[in-house]
Amino acid sequence: MSMVLVLNADFGPLHRVSVRHAIRMLFREVAVVEEVRPDARMGVFPIPTVVRLVSYVVTRWRRSRGPGWSRGGVLNRDGRRCAYCGGAASTIDHVLPRSRGGQNSWSNTVAACGRCNQRKGDRTPAEARMPLSWTPRAPSWTEAAAW
């Protein structure tokens, strides 16, 4: 199912919702359409891809901390590319293994292919002689809204 980007009244990205949710927002008149694509199946009704809220929503809490950690978020942040070999990634790897006190956090997890994840095992990248291609970091709300 495709997702629709929701913008605040000041055109700042907020989050993504389903097409069904976006259409309900339009019927309730809490949002207006900013961008559409034609529906290939029916050809009559355009499908919204971006909607903007009519009233501004205060999001001060978003400035203090970024999006919450998730496995899917790590894969999206890294573009589904392995942080060790650059191949297609389907798993996540803890830079400092959980058995050694590593946490589920943005700065301690990277996307990895099954082969590299297995090879690294219960070691740090330095111990396994597998350097990271990039340093993991927490994404901003703007980056997360683009997923």
| pLDDT of 45 above 80 | no
- What pLDDT does 64 receive? 57
Residue 49 Cα to chain centre, angstroms: 17
Mean pLDDT score, 126-131:
96
**Digit-coded pLDDT (tens) for 57-107:** 887 665 556 788 999 999 999 999 999 999 999 999 999 999 999 999 999
Phi, psi of 60 (to 5 degrees): -55, -35
User: In the chain, where are the structural domains located?
Assistant: 3-55, 67-138
Per CATH, which fold does 67-138 belong to? DNA Binding (I), subunit A (1.10.30)
- What pLDDT does 108 receive? 96
DSSP string, 30-94: SEEEEEEEE-TTTSSSEEEEEEEESS----HHHHHS-PPP-HHHHHHHTTTB-TTT-SB--EEEE
**Digit-coded pLDDT (tens) for 101-128:** 999 999 999 999 999 999 999 999 999 9
112/92 Cα distance (integer angstroms): 5
Using CA of residue 16, residue 143, residue 38, residue 48, what is the dihedral sign?
A: positive
pTM confidence score:
0.60
Identity (one letter) of the amino acid at 110? V
User: And the tokens for 22?
Assistant: 């976006």
